[in-house]
Amino acid sequence: MSRAQFVKESAPSGEWKRQSNWFTGRITRESTARPGEGPDERGRWPVETGRYRLVVSLACPWAHRSVIVRRLLGLEDAISLGVVDPIRDDRGWRFTLDPAGRDPVLGIEFLSDAYRRTDPSYDGRVTVPTIVDTVTGLVVTNDYPQITLDFSTEWTEFHRPDAPRLIPADRAELNRLIEEIYQDVNNGVYRCGFATTQETYESAYDALFERLDELEERLADREYLLGDRLTEVDIRLFTTLVRFDAVYHGHFKCNRNKLTEFPNLWAYARRLYRLPSFGETVDFDQIKRHYYLTHDTINPNGIVAKGPDPRAWMAA
């Protein structure tokens, strides 16, 4: 089994493990590759407007964060966007939302086509977000934590004039929060949902709600996680919170509290939802259909939950 193989099986403890990111190239201003060429000897691709395509699923929280950051920074013209069907089949993410079932820029039917072209030996799970080079057709990266950081730091030449600064100069507290929220919340809901023993499920469940309780207290006297300014960590938390009551609470058994029962977190999430690039990029239909229809072991009958009412997100 390669290091990229999707580990859907549980570890001996019954704990679910997330696969590593296989394609970890970066698009940076330090790349020594010439325009139109592939990566340099360090795996760095050149920053070129109009060259790269960001492929996402609107259902996926890891991909959703890249959609939000791309819009916030004004990179729509610099980096094109491809959207896959929220329902995967055995071959993975499909471009069935596009005419003739092909991505109009890449000319492929499945995101896996780009993966195999880049590495014919790849036998892992195909993931979103993925950035594909439209010149060579090769995958640049599926390293979702790094993608949004690089949007902020490497693409500054193409940011809109009023783009927010999502990465503070002193990154120590940002990095700490990102790591804690990833372990216990972003990935924690999956550790609950895919646990195969009662013990590992309860351990993940307890860690999740302990962290949410801490975040609830943290937001008692501040607008954003780091104070009065929106940063990268707010985006990373938001994409989990916006899915919490719709899928994680019931589908993944994260049911001690609903998001709506955390007064500060619920108010915070709704504030973010109303900001440009947040609520307008949320598609509850695709979110629910993806989770309820692709996790056969959790929901074998494929019943998609009807609620909750999304109008609550716009309530005063």
Determine whether 136 is exposed, middle or buried from the number of CB atoms within 10 Å of its CB (0-12, 13-18, 19+). middle
The answer to whether the Cα torsion of 74, 78, 84, 90 is positive or negative is negative
Nearest to 275 by CA among 238, 246, 248: 238
**Residue 139 marked in a binding site:** no
CA distance 120 to 159: 35
User: Is residue 60 flagged as an active site residue?
Assistant: yes
**Residue 93 marked in a binding site:** yes
**Residue 282 marked in a binding site:** no
Catalytic residue (choose from 52, 60, 248, 292): 60
Specify the pairing of strand 52-56 against strand 80-83. parallel
CA distance 289 to 305: 9
Catalytic residue (choose from 52, 115, 122, 190): 190
Residue 264, CB-side half-sphere exposure with 13 Å CA sphere? 14
Cβ atoms of 55 and 128 closer than 8 Å: yes
**Residue 128 marked in a binding site:** yes
Place of tokens 């499945």: 110
Cis omega (within 30 of 0) on the bond before 120?
A: no
CA distance 282 to 294: 19
User: Is residue 192 flagged as an active site residue?
Assistant: no
The binding site for glutathione comprises 93, 125-128
Active site residues: 60, 190
